Amino acid sequence: MSTLDRLRYRFMKDVGAPALLGLRNVGKKRRPRPPRPHFGPPLGSSARLKEIMTRHYLLARYAQGAKPVAWVTSGAPVELLRAFDFYTVYPENHGALCGAARQGTALCEEAEARGYSQDLCSYARIDLGHLFSGKTPVGRLPRPDLLFASNNICQTVGYWYKALAHHLNIPLILFDTPYNFGDITDADIAYMADQFEEMIPVLEQVSDRHFDYRKFQGIVALAKESSELWGQVLATMQARPAPMTIFDAFVHLAPIVSLRGLPVCRGYYEILLAELKTRVERGIGALAMERKRLMWDNIAIWFKVRELAELFAARGMNFVAATYTSAWAETTPHLDVNHPFESMARTYSLVILNNNLDARLRSMERFIREYSVDGLVIHSARSCKPYSVGQYDLRRLLRERLGVPSVVLEADITDSRVWSEEQARTRLEAFFEALEAGAAAA
């Protein structure tokens, strides 16, 4: 780390970034918002969210050489990295941004041109495509000093990050979490907790910082508080009408993924939660008229979020629950500041994709009851095979047990080449008819 790089980063953090963010709209003509007749008033917190994430990616350009930099998978225990002051970048979050910006397919093709198969996760292909081309909608990502991954979300990240480590010639730390076929065991917890102990010397060497246990405990506490707030944010959608939609939540989960363990993350969710509670008290809904309440399974179709939101809103159908957005809140109660290693092992190994299908079925049944769900939309994602496996069985069981109608959309998280507009429309029209028929029968 150089003194000049540290001074430049500090200047941008304290002076440059606030000034640029303050001036970004000066001299620009504000484009009028397109009318959204089927929606309620937009969330005021969105402006703060945009500011936070813009600042995060802006400062990332200046982090290299000033702070240790790590690229991290979404399911990895980032709290340990925070104790060493790593600047963290999440390729999956960046991939979602690329998908939403309609740049995902082009970046996937960059990786495919280097021999990577189109059958691979499109987040991985986007990340590798960015590495080879340097193209990104956020300007520039810093070169990492370390790669930090966990296989609790899928096995692909292990091979993906090994490819990154090969091309970048930097260390890779992989947090190995045994799959939970039944109940997690004490031996599993001990195995994972020991890994944290073994990571510390490597992190000290890469960061040139000593491990501070008390600082680490404070970060774990902060991460727990932020995740609890995120869970409370999602719980506001139990209200009728729901104050926001899952399509909103897909966007507003960015801080809990990318900035978990930092004060700015907790502060943001305090603001968002306060706004949502006010909307609930005043009966302000996300839609102009909420007739049906739906649940979404799997990751968002990032390049179709806006169109799908409008399609369902036009029919008065609001998504009020999702298995994906809840992943950063459901296991939070296990975090314990007094036993951070053991509790982090339990927290990160019990996430939805590392757990058995019975556990996932129970969670979906609970969401359907607690959020008064009328129908289920299942995204069968070509990229995310661990998330998509078993969905047809889950669909059948939920129909048999709770009578919930459902539809399967075959797509991808960021690669638009997989999407078939005609097929999706046909399936959705049948789903809409089933929902209306069910309401008429009731």
If we measure between CA atoms, which residue out of 163, 175, 165 comes closest to residue 200? 175
If we measure between CA atoms, which residue out of 344, 253, 356 comes closest to residue 296? 253
Residue 23's pLDDT is 78
Tens-place pLDDT, residues 151-198: 999 999 999 999 999 999 999 999 999 999 988 899 999 999 999 999
Token digits of residue 275: 């706004």
**H or E element in which residue 149 lies:** strand 146-150
Cα 108 from Cα 122, distance rounded (Å): 6
Cα 149 from Cα 327, distance rounded (Å): 17
Cα 404 from Cα 95, distance rounded (Å): 32
Contact status, residue 98 vs residue 107, Cβ threshold 8 Å = yes
Residue 31's pLDDT is 64
Residue 32's pLDDT is 65
Contacts of 185 (CB under 8 A, 6+ apart): none
pLDDT reading at 24 higher than 90: no
Q: Which of 5-19, 135-149, 226-240, 311-325 has the lowest mean pLDDT?
A: 5-19
Mean pLDDT, residues 6-14:
90
| Model confidence pTM above 0.75 | yes
Mean pLDDT, residues 290-299:
97
Question: How confident is the prediction for the chain on average, in pLDDT?
Answer: 94
Contact status, residue 383 vs residue 123, Cβ threshold 8 Å = yes
Residue 26's pLDDT is 61
Mean pLDDT, residues 30-54:
88
DSSP 217-241: HHHHHHHHHHHHHHHHHHHGGGSSS
Confidence of residue 30 (pLDDT cuts 50, 70, 90): low
Helix (H, G, I), strand (E, B) or coil at 370: helix
Residue 435's pLDDT is 92
pLDDT reading at 442 higher than 60: no
pLDDT reading at 348 higher than 60: yes
Mean pLDDT, residues 67-72:
97
Tens-place pLDDT, residues 185-230: 999 999 999 999 999 999 999 999 999 999 999 999 999 999 999 9
Residue 20's pLDDT is 85
Token digits of residue 254: 């960015």
Residue 369's pLDDT is 97
Confidence of residue 436 (pLDDT cuts 50, 70, 90): confident
**H or E element in which residue 174 lies:** strand 172-175
Q: Where are the domains of the chain?
A: 3-21+37-441
Residue 440's pLDDT is 55
Neighbours of 126 (CB within 10 A): 32
Cα 65 from Cα 140, distance rounded (Å): 15
Tens-place pLDDT, residues 233-268: 999 999 999 999 999 999 999 999 999 999 999 999
How large is the C-alpha radius of gyration of the chain? 22
Residue 143's pLDDT is 95
Residue 248's pLDDT is 97
Tens-place pLDDT, residues 370-415: 999 999 999 999 999 889 999 999 999 999 999 999 999 999 999 9
Tens-place pLDDT, residues 307-342: 999 999 999 999 999 999 999 999 999 999 999 999
pLDDT reading at 105 higher than 60: yes
Confidence of residue 21 (pLDDT cuts 50, 70, 90): confident
Tens-place pLDDT, residues 51-66: 999 999 999 999 999 9
Confidence of residue 22 (pLDDT cuts 50, 70, 90): confident
pLDDT reading at 83 higher than 60: yes
